[in-house]
Structure 1
Amino acid sequence: MRSDDEMPGKKIRRNRHGPDRIYWVARADLVAQGYEPRTVRLHYDPTDRVLIAAACQRLQAEMLAWAAGRRTTDRPFDGTLASLIRLYQHDQASPYRDLKWNTRRTYDQVLGVIEKAFGKRSLAAVGIADFRRWYDEAKKPKQPGSPERVRKAHGIIAMLRRLFAYGVTAEHPHCARLAAILDEARFKQPGRRRLKLELPHVEAFIPKAIEAGRLSLAIGTAMQFETTLRQRDVIGEWEPIPEGEAPTGIVLGGRRWVRGLTWADITADQTVSKETTKTGAVVGHDLRLCPLVLDLLDQVPAERRVGPLIIDETAGRPYAEHAYAREWRVIARTAGIPDAVWNMDARSGGISEADDAGADLDLIRSAAGHTQASTTARYVRGTIGKSRKVAELRLAHRTSKNGS
């Protein structure tokens, strides 16, 4: 039998409505000096004194080591999910360090949801039942009668997989067990997007944009549809300026505009070459075969053909983050484009049109800058180009057999 002396820092909080809760609590004098975590809930059976003692001794040793001088702003792993999240974001050996800034921002949003909801849970007490419950809670509709939020729920599970994979490489306890559980578990994934921006949409949008004084939106939409370039490869993006680096170039709110199309990217013979942001692949397009684009470029006076191709007419600079999509929606509604169809669906629309025309999938892949044909195939939405070709070949085969 283990004595309470072997469980330093252990506290029990009585619960009238369920089992008592067991905590490890840091010394008040060290908490006053800045030590964290202040408390750690121990999700163990109250009768499992061996596990409780081991956890208390480990947490107590970490606290005393901090008090003895090994103080650091990077708090030690305390066995909780919140602690693992913190290390994933700050460990120099974490794959998080290699992520692009906007991917980090997206990850941080999901990690914040996880930490707020489950951060105090001890990894030792987490299992498949918890994952199922967390997934089911996350996918519940925001309001009664609304669709289930499967994409949000699946994103949380995907992030947990990343966390535990990191934990395995960092040799943190229980991460290998939890990673193995999630490797075998299956959760419903969100359905693939099926909508696309089609040629009639683009043809309806362009005159409405020009009428509203938004030639920039007309050019951007036509360029996205005709060349199948991603939105950010056309309009660019605002990247944080690294600390200590001079704010040169086009700067807005501490961010620098980068990677969008410029007039310098368009050659004298009306071709455009671009290194894509996502894969780094270099794609080229002959704009002489993109009449929607050429007609719009001709409307830009020669003296304005310098710098970024897409300029917010009201601000005189590239569109601020989210402003392009917001202003695009205003014009789209006047053009009768359903709200369910997004500006970014122009890429799938162009790829789908190419497939419907019978273009070889590998040629489409190269034009779109994809590294794998399977990725290109996911952008093909509701077309019959390939099935028509198959049917034509089958009919020709029958005719040949009957003739012989």
Structure 2
Amino acid sequence: MGAFGRPFLPSGIVATASLPFRRLNLTERRTLMHSADLDAPGLKRRHNKDGTTRFSWVARSDIAKAGYEPKTVRLHYNLDDPRERLLAEAMCRKLQAEMLAWRAGHRQTRRPFDGTVSSLVRLYQTDEASPYFELKHNTRETYDQVLRVIDRAFGKRVLSNLALADFRRWYEEAKKPREPDGPERVRKAHGIISMFRRLFAYGIAAEHAGCARLASILDATRFKQSKRRRIRLERHHVEAFIPKAIEAGRLSLALGTALQFETGMRQKDVIGEWEPHVARSEIGGIMLKGKRGRRMLRWANGLTWADLANTSVFTKETTKTGALVSHDLSLCPMTAALLAKVPAAAKVGPLIIDEHARRPYAKDAYAREWRVIARAAGIPDEVWNMDARAGAITEAEDAGADLDEIRGAIGHTQASTTARYSRGAVGKSRKVAELRQAHRAGRNES
């Protein structure tokens, strides 16, 4: 006997009171499978413009109006296939049971995994065991932007129905230029694929069905990445920038740029950043109200005048790797000259202060104001403030510094990372050429 007391027969076989068992033709089978005989509460059929049919589970209208989510779940099953038909029935019964339990008052604050991309995104962002909560706040904000794109574009897709072709198609669509003659957006497309990798890795750890299969597909597939940045801020750029910044009343921008270039420090480690501050009962330090009053922000991680007190040497823990770096500013002439211009009474608190706001620069304001001065100094728009670190590393290698020494000076944990920041340095090639010339000269003399 089959479910609900019906006799079990192989797919496509039917018996009546007057006829023996016989196999149905294709039309009869489809009629039977798409009829009310399906044990799939909430199943709805819709016709597409191209003549095909799509199936969805739809919540009862009265319960949906009361606030139940999800209201609709697309079912990517082929009901002509007996095995997929059983899966569709099981999914509908599961969704129906969850809806009725919600109506009866059993309402979970965290909805369970329902097999869709949207559900996986939601759990990745809300599950306390997710690696999402180990991310720094600024990284989390960046991830949130990509996750919103994924949820809007692919959220209703069921993981069990995804394949390599889907990821290839999504990648190709995402990298299309914004404008007809514009550049391909490879960085955006690759970022979406990278986020899928993170989602599936979390899904495997959380034991969500379908994630291991999709992770193995992406592990075995390569998608083109955007080219690595090759531009650097050079010394002549900094020398042109400093007088223009002073002329505009932006000593802070001149000092910050000189420090970044001469020490190789990241912008964030020099000027600091604004972090979300949740514990309102512990308000202290330099605080700033977030946009629309949502949350308080606290300034952190930047250089302060206390770091430079009574000596030209300072040590700082970097924000990205936690490595300790030390610098002797007496060997940084541009920085030392600018520090001397700051009045003694102003040498309190954060080192880099927005002259107009009288506090550390708000998010993105430093880069925005820096660009204004850079244009006045004739620095091309493709050269960014963040390129100061690459400029410092490249100049150091050109000067003959060993790559491992540079790595230690700027706080990288791996020399391979430092090598990526060296953009067009000729230090190594010059040394190799000199050794070859010396070798030739020695052979000629012998």
For structure 2, the residue ranges without an aligned partner over 5 or more in a row are 1-10, 12-32, 290-295
The CA deviation at 1:70 is 3.4
Question: 1:75 corresponds to which letter in structure 2?
Answer: R
Alignment partner of 1:278 is 2:320: yes
- Structure 1 CA distance, aligned partners of 2:359 and 2:133? 31
Secondary structure of the 2:390 match is helix
Contact 2:316 2:324 in 1 (8 A): yes
- Structure 2 CA distance, aligned partners of 1:243 and 1:18? 57
Matched residues, percent identical? Answer: 67
Alignment partner of 1:107 is 2:107: no
Question: Partner of 2:88 in structure 1?
Answer: 52
Question: 1:73 corresponds to which letter in structure 2?
Answer: T
Question: Partner of 1:10 in structure 2?
Answer: 43
Decide whether aligned partners of structure 1 residues 152 and 50 sit closer, same or farther in structure 2, where only a CA change above 3 A counts: same
Question: 2:339 corresponds to which letter in structure 1?
Answer: L
Question: Partner of 2:401 in structure 1?
Answer: 359
Secondary structure of the 2:275 match is strand
Contact 2:390 2:423 in 1 (8 A): yes
- Structure 1 CA distance, aligned partners of 2:73 and 2:133? 27
For structure 1, the residue ranges without an aligned partner over 5 or more in a row are none
Contact 1:36 1:75 in 2 (8 A): no
Contact 1:198 1:349 in 2 (8 A): yes
Provide Cα deviations, 1:160-198, integer angstroms capped at 9, x if missing partner.
000011111111111111111110111000100000000
The CA deviation at 1:393 is 1.5
Decide whether aligned partners of structure 1 residues 18 and 340 sit closer, same or farther in structure 2, where only a CA change above 3 A counts: farther
Question: Partner of 1:32 in structure 2?
Answer: 65
Alignment partner of 1:42 is 2:84: no
| TM-score normalised by length of structure 2 | 0.88
Question: Partner of 1:345 in structure 2?
Answer: 387
Question: Partner of 1:19 in structure 2?
Answer: 52
- Structure 2 CA distance, aligned partners of 1:249 and 1:118? 43
The CA deviation at 1:5 is 4.2
Alignment partner of 1:204 is 2:237: no
Secondary structure of the 2:57 match is strand
Residue of structure 2 aligned with 1:305, choices 347, 350, 356? 347
Residue of structure 2 aligned with 1:255, choices 297, 303, 318? 297
Higher mean C-alpha deviation, range 189-198 or range 29-38: 29-38
Alignment partner of 1:144 is 2:186: no
Secondary structure of the 2:74 match is strand
Contact 1:12 1:21 in 2 (8 A): yes
Contact 1:101 1:239 in 2 (8 A): yes
- Structure 1 CA distance, aligned partners of 2:89 and 2:434? 74
Alignment partner of 1:264 is 2:306: yes
Aligned length: 404
Decide whether aligned partners of structure 1 residues 174 and 4 sit closer, same or farther in structure 2, where only a CA change above 3 A counts: farther
- Structure 2 CA distance, aligned partners of 1:180 and 1:244? 44
The CA deviation at 1:68 is 4.7
- Structure 1 CA distance, aligned partners of 2:398 and 2:51? 62
Query: Within 5 Å, which residues of 2 pair with 1:94-173?
Result: 94-173=130-209
The CA deviation at 1:217 is 0.4
Provide Cα deviations, 1:313-337, integer angstroms capped at 9, x if missing partner.
1111111111110110000001000
**Which contiguous aligned blocks of 4+ residues in structure 1 show a shift greater than 6 angstroms?**
none
The CA deviation at 1:45 is 2.1
The CA deviation at 1:244 is 3.9
| TM-score normalised by length of structure 1 | 0.97
Question: Partner of 1:226 in structure 2?
Answer: 262
Question: 1:183 corresponds to which letter in structure 2?
Answer: D
- Structure 2 CA distance, aligned partners of 1:369 and 1:245? 35
Higher mean C-alpha deviation, range 260-269 or range 304-313: 260-269
- Structure 2 CA distance, aligned partners of 1:276 and 1:204? 28
Residue of structure 1 aligned with 2:442, choices 393, 400, 404? 400
Contact 2:38 2:89 in 1 (8 A): no
Secondary structure of the 1:13 match is strand
Secondary structure of the 2:316 match is strand
Secondary structure of the 1:299 match is coil
Contact 1:80 1:122 in 2 (8 A): yes
- Structure 2 CA distance, aligned partners of 1:342 and 1:47? 58
Structure whose CA Rg is larger: 2
Provide Cα deviations, 1:356-396, integer angstroms capped at 9, x if missing partner.
11100000001110000000001000111111111112222
Provide Cα deviations, 1:130-158, integer angstroms capped at 9, x if missing partner.
10111111101111111100000000000
The CA deviation at 1:18 is 3.8
Question: Partner of 1:329 in structure 2?
Answer: 371
Question: 2:172 corresponds to which letter in structure 1?
Answer: D
Residue of structure 2 aligned with 1:384, choices 404, 426, 436? 426
Contact 1:62 1:76 in 2 (8 A): no
Contact 2:118 2:155 in 1 (8 A): yes
Provide Cα deviations, 1:41-100, integer angstroms capped at 9, x if missing partner.
011223231232232233233334434543112112111111110000001111101111
Contact 2:175 2:184 in 1 (8 A): yes
Question: 1:11 corresponds to which letter in structure 2?
Answer: K
Secondary structure of the 2:385 match is coil
